[in-house]
Structure 1
């Protein structure tokens, strides 16, 4: 006779299909499972466990054998990674329909809110949330001789005379002028300006945009599509300088940087 703790007798883990919409909402469909409380729970990874770090989505019947929960775009979801649970059990990813997020152009009058459902490295379902008010969305990156030119779009703020781009490393800041018109921006970062010798270790220079003289800087990122982690997806050719190598890159949070290596 099999022991009651035999994994073969354990209930199958819950699995959810999901559909994202262009307004920031996500709908989750899950096969009916035995649950003491029919509620999908989202918990923010690394949070303090308070009310702001948990979202509870009631499950309601949605056709034979299925239940549905909806995360409306109007519900506040702090920036971060949100893991999903049902009755304390981690939810596994099913079919993810993210087509509405591709080439998304939001209203963006005060910035952007983005939610991307994704599979974690250990096979769970999570939601990556970005809340950027205002927001600088990176677009094309043009590689030149010893420099990169970044083009993008501003949401929630416009570029004004005196706009500057900033490359930041700790307390060190290098500034270059930025041009902007009709919500767009562009600037060029010369690598030599960042590669002050001696370069002994890898440096990751964060790129920010200051929309005007005296304006608060805005982190430059790329979040308006279905890619939740660009770090190993968007890889750019490396420039060989004098005593260093340089290339633009994205972090796991989709923030834009320039990486220098010796």
Structure 2
């Protein structure tokens, strides 16, 4: 098909006319877009400052601010395409279908999102708490929408999905403010039990970081084939727990050496293959 110059001129005139007629919508849409983006940033900043002034939980503040940010962005996008002449009802239907498809393909992520909301709402732990969950122990450094970030004793970062975290068992070591150390010291059957317990009690009483209430406990834990096991259970504030744990063991060893009491080494019992 060969177009003559008159047809080309007609097409060009039509295109220019449509462009001129449509340009106000494009300009208006761009104005709405730029003004909207600036307003969203301003509103988000104001909301964050307001929640911080009201001493809301930092995790909750970040979460609500992020949700509000994305809701406003979606509304702005709908306003822009409506200004361009796209039917918003059709777009909402398309968005709903896309949301359903994405939801089916991202069921795990949605589970993590719901778990994050449950953690933020019911607060089984907060940032700075030391917890044990999913076989990991660490200090909570951040609660994100989909994952919770822990820092363990080796300064390794652990990411735990919020879905598994909210549905599993969580041990919060920080919630009560103090903890008990469960130590075991083994002595031989030749040792005077009362003397050994008195020495351990003296060690516990001499450590100012061991709490007086609850009272530390020293008792016989078990009688094995080769040793008497003594349970030593001092209490300490969370920030002193690690130091109290190691100091108690070291001080008991030094005190036993002074009293000529030998700590019985651990002996693993082995089965007789010929029995």
User: TM-score, normalization: structure 2?
Assistant: 0.20
Compare relative contact order (CA 8 Å, sep 6+) and give the higher one, 1 or 2. Answer: 1
Higher helix share: 2
User: TM-score, normalization: structure 1?
Assistant: 0.21
